[in-house]
Chains A and B, each alone.
Chain A
């Protein structure tokens, strides 16, 4: 409850700072959407040259893409900490965070909250609904419940992975630069995993489980494929809890090691 009211205070603060730079807000929203649109263009271009991608049709791949955007938008809103290592470790702002009673991760995240990213989620939901109707898939209330669970699971997977990645900064002095590189890898979870070889498929499913934020949960709603990854879909929330638990533990352990490098 205390965290909810804190959260509200952070949001109010965010709104105040943002209103000073009004033009930026819209530039950010538009560039965010274009950014997402670029990835969609790739899919559309590819399907001009082939009818199916490893047995998946264009509508199905776009459907997966739509699903992918929903948790990604939520994640983008809550985890906008791209400069964590530089700002909090190198410049030492972590000291300030640690003197306060609320959990350090919570504070770091909400100091950087970025609501415009959420618009991507709505666009994604729209794309998904459009494909759903086009393919004439059956729809029930149960689907909505599952969708909700999958989204939470997917957000937790992102949250866990990026918490862990940012926590690396507690252990290594040099800025690692690994976070932007991870950015590309997460996109591969949008495509049918069966097209990759065993190593990459294993990596995307179990090591950096980005398949669980895209193609696996989305396949639950689609027609069954020969290799049927939709059975794994129900694991999404479980994976979310495990990954987030590990990420948080890694973070907490890192905070204990933190010595305060800045001045």
Chain B
């Protein structure tokens, strides 16, 4: 049975490979994004050396690695699920002998693998050539970061699945999906590290899963979070991964009872 799920990873990976040309333009656009934020932050720092505990070189590395991590964990599972619910093909998926959500996760992982190898890695390489990014030298940091990145993917995909499943309850969840995208970008710390948030807002953020997607891993990668604390970061990520399974399971259970297929 497991091999069937592994095949979903393989198929999605190959499908992405067929459309790889799109991702060359993606690398350029991500480089522009990183560039724009690099200069934006240079202007924000002005003559100051440290802001919210980030030095200028740390900030540069933070921006580069956060955007490139986003290049890896980003996927459109929410849209895929919502589309399948809206056009009714989810009904066919439901009678197949597999777990629909688990299949979606596997497809997302296939896409993630592709994005890691053909988007994030070359992208990070190019960005390091253009901007003064300082990468960690300790291989242990790289290894731990890779594990954290995997959790970033899991948590982000879980949030996507949860958003997508809302299409069962509202016929058009386009607005929600758009809002979710901006929320994840802002609250996960891609555009501004959570340490910069005003006290009350960063207080709220500590109780939400978003920081586990980008902020915590990237802070570790830039060396702002020391090696000794890596364990507690991964523990927090694991905690969120497990906790998010509950609302997904509940929504999924409620959704299947409610399903009505429009047209078809």
Contact = CB atoms under 8 A, between A and B. Distances in A.
Contacts of A42: 186, 191-192
A192 B43 CA distance: 10
B186 to A, nearest CB: 5
A67 to B, nearest CB: 19
A177 B26 contact: yes
B79 to A, nearest CB: 9
Contacts of B183: 34, 38
Nearest to A86: B83
Interface string B183-208: 10110000110001110010000000
Given A45-B196, A178-B25, A185-B32, A27 B44 contact: no
Interface in A143-200: 174-178, 181-182, 184-185, 188, 191-192, 195-197, 199-200
A176 B22 contact: yes
Interface stretch (B103-111, B145-153, B173-181, B222-230): B173-181
B35 interface: yes
Contacts of B125: none
A197 B36 CA distance: 9
| 4 tightest Cβ-Cβ pairs between the two chains A and B | A31-B175, A195-B43, A28-B175, A31-B179
Nearest to A178: B25
Nearest to B169: A23
A209 B196 CA distance: 30
Contacts of A196: 35-36, 39-40
Interface string B1-45: 000000000000000000101100110010011011001101111
B182 A195 contact: no
**For this complex, into which size category does the number of interface residues on chain B fall?**
35 or more
Interface of A: 21, 23-24, 27-32, 34-35, 38-39, 41-42, 45-46, 48-50, 52-54, 174-178, 181-182, 184-185, 188, 191-192, 195-197, 199-200, 203
B186 A50 contact: no
Contacts of B43: 53-54, 192, 195
A233 to B, nearest CB: 21
Contacts of B40: 53, 188, 191, 195-196
Interface stretch (B46-54, B91-99, B133-141, B242-250): B46-54
B130 to A, nearest CB: 10
A184 B26 contact: no
Interface string B155-187: 000000000000000111111101100110110
A46 B33 contact: no
Give the interface centre of A39, A54, A192 by most chain B CB atoms within 10 Å.
Answer: A54
A24 B172 contact: yes
A262 to B, nearest CB: 15
Contacts of B186: 38, 41-42
A94 to B, nearest CB: 19
Given A24-B171, A27-B170, 20 more contacts: A21-B170, A27-B173, A28-B174, A34-B182, A35-B182, A38-B182, A38-B186, A45-B192, A46-B44, A46-B192, A46-B196, A48-B196, A50-B44, A50-B45, A181-B29, A185-B32, A192-B43, A195-B43, A196-B40, A197-B35
Given A24-B171, A200-B36, A45 B197 contact: yes
A204 to B, nearest CB: 8
A49 B26 contact: no
Given A31-B176, A32-B175, A24 B170 contact: yes
A52 B172 CA distance: 41
A27 B180 CA distance: 13
A176 B174 CA distance: 20
A203 B45 CA distance: 24
Contacts of B25: 176, 178, 181
Contacts of B201: 45
A250 B201 CA distance: 46
20 contacts: A24-B172, A24-B175, A27-B176, A34-B179, A35-B178, A38-B182, A45-B197, A45-B198, A49-B52, A50-B44, A50-B45, A174-B21, A176-B25, A177-B22, A181-B25, A184-B33, A185-B29, A195-B39, A195-B40, A200-B36
Contacts of B179: 31, 34-35
A190 B215 CA distance: 25
